Structure 1
Amino acid sequence: MNLKRSLTLILAAGLVLSGSRVMVRAQGDDETPLPDETTQLIHEVRETTAVYHNLDAGLDAGYGKFLDCFQHGADMGMGQHYVNGDLAGDDVLDPLQPEALVYEPLDDGTMVLVAFEYLVFADTWDPDDEGREPPSLYGQDFVLKTTIPETPPVWTLHIWLWTHNPEGLFADYNPLVACPADQPIVDMAMAGS
């Protein structure tokens, strides 16, 4: 692991684990403190899901590789997703059971856990059905994605628990995460998302 990544991980872990009221960019330019209950929930999620730093634990839990490494143009990364089909196929959103684990694939083949993605398919979570609002977790509304290859419309929310994201804790893409240049990628800038 390089020095920049090590320092970023230490800083991110220290901020989340400190338990203090932290100023965080959730998404976009708004920098607001997370409510105490959200900070506590994030701490619980980190403790409960730390086992997934080991990709084999994720595979054993039913997560499987989804497409190739995602990025948005040359400067914004997301990573390689591993999705649990059973969790993705229902309309239950549980912070302790993310539908997708997101890893940054390094040049040496190492997979580094960087984020989780929560998702629910639009046909199982219709906001027009009985006045239902878009799904939300951590006080953040999900975003409807309609241009993910080989995927029907889906509501999504990322949380960058395991690496710093200067774009925000809940942003879709992270300029500090990259897909190896010599491996296949899914460039969402080309897909329109």
Structure 2
Amino acid sequence: MLAAAVIAQPSLAHDHAAGVSPDNPLANKVREINARFADVSVATAEGYAPIPCVSGVEGGAMGIHYVNGALIEDDVVDIGKPEAVMYEPQADGSMQLVAVEYITTKGPANLDGHLFSFTNAPNRYGLPPFYELHVWAWRANPTGTFADMNPNVSCDATVAATN
């Protein structure tokens, strides 16, 4: 049993370093199943394409969404195939995985009992009315694991790169 605790420590240390609580079963599943997206080239190889960094007017951000349009169109919610993968741009030009987003036009929708939020049309994404659920599996969010904006995420590195 002690050996199992010692072996598990690096994983827990990583979660703690990111500030993500290990007590959320859905976030834990999302993190485990979608770990491949830590490398943004995996997202692009799987058909995801970036849209500009999304910031909130009251602070915080969602980051740069890498969106897979085919997954949005199929209206299937699959924990291993999020419709969007979200990254925070870093000052060195790299991307740090922070969250995923599940999107469907069929609803009301839920994933493991967590209800999706409804976004009506017209909206800034040019989509028809849709349901969405953010899961902040790699970055702690003081406003909640499933909130839209995260005050611990910034688009500043993107803005700095374009000036």
Instruction: Tell me the TM-score normalized by structure 2.
Output: 0.79
Alpha-carbon distance change, 110 to 152 in structure 1, aligned in 2, over 3 angstroms: same
Q: Does 1:166 align with 2:142?
A: yes
**CA displacement, residues 52-77 of structure 1 (integer Å, 9 cap, x when unaligned):** 000001111111112x1001115121
Whose helix fraction is larger, Structure 1's or Structure 2's?
A: 2
Alpha-carbon distance change, 114 to 87 in structure 1, aligned in 2, over 3 angstroms: same
Identify unmatched segments of 5+ residues in structure 2: 1-13
The equivalent of 1:135 in structure 2 is 109
After superposition, the CA RMSD in angstroms is 2.1
**CA displacement, residues 103-131 of structure 1 (integer Å, 9 cap, x when unaligned):** 0012221110000000013xxx1x5xxxx
> How many equivalent residue pairs?
145
**CA displacement, residues 127-182 of structure 1 (integer Å, 9 cap, x when unaligned):** 5xxxxxx1011322111113223332221110000010000000001001010233
Identical columns (%) = 37
The equivalent of 2:19 in structure 1 is 11
The equivalent of 1:116 in structure 2 is 100
Whose strand fraction is larger, Structure 1's or Structure 2's?
A: 1
Alpha-carbon distance change, 182 to 151 in structure 1, aligned in 2, over 3 angstroms: farther
Instruction: Tell me the TM-score normalized by structure 1.
Output: 0.68
Aligned letter for 1:161? A
* Equivalent-residue separation in structure 1 for 2:57 and 2:16 (angstroms): 22
Runs of 4+ in structure 1 off by over 4 angstroms are none
Alpha-carbon distance change, 7 to 57 in structure 1, aligned in 2, over 3 angstroms: closer
* Equivalent-residue separation in structure 1 for 2:80 and 2:109 (angstroms): 16
Q: For 1:62, which of 22, 37, 47 is the aligned residue?
A: 47
Identify unmatched segments of 5+ residues in structure 1: 1-5, 17-21, 23-33, 128-133, 185-193
